[in-house]
């Protein structure tokens, strides 16, 4: 029973970390995208 609970918790943890990584990647992409727009705007 404890083993099953541990494996379940581990599965939840890995899923959570994947979600966190995705959020970080999206934040990074957004900031990069915005900075690119800003530089294009200043060049115009």
d(CA 42, CA 44): 5
d(CA 21, CA 30): 14
Residues 11-43: pLDDT tens digits? 677 777 778 888 888 898 889 888 888 888 787
Cα of 24 vs its chain's centroid, Å: 3
Whole-number pLDDT of residue 9: 73
Number of domain units in the chain? 1
Place of tokens 């995705």: 22
Q: Which domain holds residue 7?
A: 1-44
Place of tokens 């083993």: 3
HSE of 39, CA atoms in CB hemisphere, 13 A? 6
């Amino acid at each position: 029973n404890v083993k099953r609970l541990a494996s379940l918790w581990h599965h939840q943890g890995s899923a959570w970390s994947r979600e966190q990584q995705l959020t970080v990647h999206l934040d990074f992409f957004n900031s990069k995208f915005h900075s690119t727009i800003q530089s294009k705007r200043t060049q115009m």
